[in-house]
Amino acid sequence: MTVSVNAMNAPMPSPLEHAQQALSEGQSRLIDDYRPDYHLAPVAGWMNDPNGVVFFRGEYHVFYQHHPFDAKWGPMYWGHAKSADLVHWQHLPLALAPGDDFDRHGCFSGSAVVCGDTLALIYTGHTWLGEVGDERFIRQVQCLATSDDGIRFVKHGAVIEDAPQETIMHFRDPKVWQEDGHWYLIAGARLGDKPLLPLYRSTDLHTWEFLDYVSSGNEGDGYMWECPDLFRLNGRDVLLYSPQGMQPEGYERLNKYQTGYRIGRLDNEWHFTGGPFIELDNGHDFYAAQTLEAADGRRLVWAWLDMWESPMPSQAHHWCGMLGLPRELELQGDRLGVFPARELTALRQAPLPSIAPWGESGSRWVPQVQGDRLEIHVHLDLLGCTEGHLGIALRCSADEQEQTLLYYDASLQRLVLDRSRSGAQVSGQRSVSIEPTQTQLHLRVFLDRSSIEVFEENGRFSFSSRLYPRPDSLGVKLLANGTGGRVAIPKAWPLDSGWL
């Protein structure tokens, strides 16, 4: 075999170039049946946590955990997309690749901040010290990378090499913010089976001093608090985190892991005291949320719209994972109100016909409203609804074998999202309590091929879940099989693509 001199002398592609090539090749094998049209999803391969969300030079940047070589979790890279309006997104080149001594086996989750004219990424460098996958022998350090243009990043290595205690191995997911002339960093740590949240301070992002543990867990609080985020909202401090190891109780904490928050106060000695842990979303698939203070002062939040050990049939289609819609958080007493970002109305196309209130026993097809990329406003009039179910069926097949149900259960006094017939592999119900005095429920429902997100009009709750129906399961039905009550669709729109 003859090898040309030019071929022999050609430089080897960098890890980032090699990964970009893998994405291009993977893109040619994609099957689009489940791919979202206005949610953030990878070009190909695997996606999980949002790594960093930041507003830089007039645009929103979202980074995410990414494995470009396979649709399964693997050595973590940082994927990257940007938007000028929170609606229309553009994929950018991969931001980080593992391979250096300090991040040999993964650039794990972290955050992004603007420092002067520079965009800085603070992330966890992960190394297996023994057999790959053996979590008893790992090293995790906090690393820094910077960029002058927001696209190409230069690594500066580990800036926090040691956990606060020598016996801590799990030490990851730094979230950084600026306050009172200093940078602050909160991370998740695990000492045995006790979760800890160490807090650090810096003047330059390079040198950090350990201040104290902001909070730690007690029995029943899980063994690890991933992706912590600490921010102030209307004069209150909010601690957002994703605990691992909490046990289900009644209708609460039914997912393998959760994401939730506590509202309280961070005192002058860096200790957080607050109320009970409250789940931020009540659906099947919502994890690793991270927030951003927008230029106008709003607190925005993104999360991974999947869950560990859940069915992921899109892996057979050469991609996996998506992020939920950007949401606005508002303080409502001792709880957070959750709303879809107001910019999302720009996705609406020509409105569909409204469906008048209906309450006859049985079900009714509404052919005027159908599709897999929709925003639907659902109005439930609960007055007199004392038994049975009242609601809506979505992504229905013509043979009625597939359907996703959203209904009020009068006997339980709960709103239920039921995906027991929502397509490939998924199952299970999630629900929230409805006060007996509440006679009206106004809901905003977003469908995007393989997902559903439901928001209560006043921000009281949301459901986020993955669905995998057949592409031709597009129908919508009204449901009423009890006493009293009526259901209506006052507004609905097909939604445009969010990709440039």
pLDDT in tens, 321-376: 999 999 999 999 999 999 999 999 999 999 999 999 999 999 999 999 999 999 99
How many of the other CB atoms lie within 10 Å of CB of 210?
14
pLDDT band of 130, cuts 50, 70, 90: confident
* DSSP classification of residue 280: S
pTM over 0.85: yes
Q: Quote the CA–CA distance of 430 and 252 in Å, as a whole number.
A: 9
H-helix or E-strand spanning residue 8: helix 5-9
Question: Any residues with CB less than 8 A from the CB of 119 and at least 6 apart, and which?
Answer: 54, 56, 61, 112, 113, 146, 147, 148, 150, 153
CB 213 within 8 A of CB 199: yes
- What is residue 469's three-state secondary structure? coil
7 has a pLDDT exceeding 60:
no
- Confidence band (pLDDT; 50, 70, 90) for 164? very high
- Residue pair 145/138 in contact (Cβ under 8 Å)? The answer is no
Distances from the Cα of 489 to the Cα of 375, 379, 417, 442, 478, angstroms? 11, 6, 17, 10, 9
pLDDT tens digit string along 268-293? Answer: 999 999 999 999 999 999 999 999 99
Closest to 306 in 3D by CA, of 250, 259, 342, 246? 259
Q: How much is the pLDDT for 236?
A: 97
Q: pLDDT band at 32, cuts 50/70/90? A: very high
Q: Is the pLDDT at 135 greater than 90, yes or no?
A: no
Kindly tell me if the per-residue pLDDT of 145 is higher than 60: yes
The pLDDT assigned to 13 comes to 86
In the numeric block, which tokens belong to residue 295?
A: 């230029």
Do residues 49 and 65 make contact, with C-beta atoms less than 8 angstroms apart? Answer: yes
Let me know: does 173 contact 159? Beta carbons within 8 Å: no
DSSP notation for 399-430:
TSS-EEEEEEETTTTEEEEEEEESBSS---EE
Of 129, 200, 121, 203, nearest in space to 157 by CA: 121
DSSP, collapsed to helix, strand or coil, labels residue 240 as: strand
Residue ranges of domains in the chain, CATH in brackets: 5-343 (2.115.10.20), 348-494 (2.60.120.560)
Please give the pLDDT value at position 5: 52
Confidence of residue 132 (pLDDT cuts 50, 70, 90): confident
Residue 36 burial (C-beta neighbours within 10 Å; 0-12, 13-18, 19+): buried
Residue 219: pLDDT band with limits 50, 70, 90: very high
Examine the pLDDT at 172 and tell me if it is beyond 70: yes
- The confidence score (pLDDT) of residue 443 equals 98
Cα(378)–Cα(392) distance, integer angstroms: 8
The answer to whether 467 and 454 have CB atoms below 8 angstroms apart is: no
Q: Distance from CA of residue 184 to its chain's centroid?
A: 23
Q: Which letter, b or e, does each residue of 231-243 get, where b requires 16 or more Cβ atoms within 10 Å of its Cβ?
A: beeeebbbbbbbb
pLDDT of residue 2: 52
179: left (phi over 0), alpha (psi -120 to 50) or beta: beta
The pLDDT, as a whole number, for residue 4 is 57
Instruction: Convert the pLDDT of each residue in 402-444 to its tens digit.
Output: 999 999 999 999 999 999 999 999 999 999 999 999 999 999 9
Q: Is 49 assigned a catalytic role? A: yes
- Alpha carbon distance 404, 426 (integer Å): 11
pLDDT bin (cut points 50, 70, 90) of residue 12 is confident
**pLDDT tens digits for range 246-272:** 999 999 999 999 999 999 999 999 999
Out of 33, 49, 267, 399, the active site residue is: 49
* Mean pLDDT, all residues of the chain: 96
- Say how far apart CA 52 and CA 114 lie, in whole Å: 11
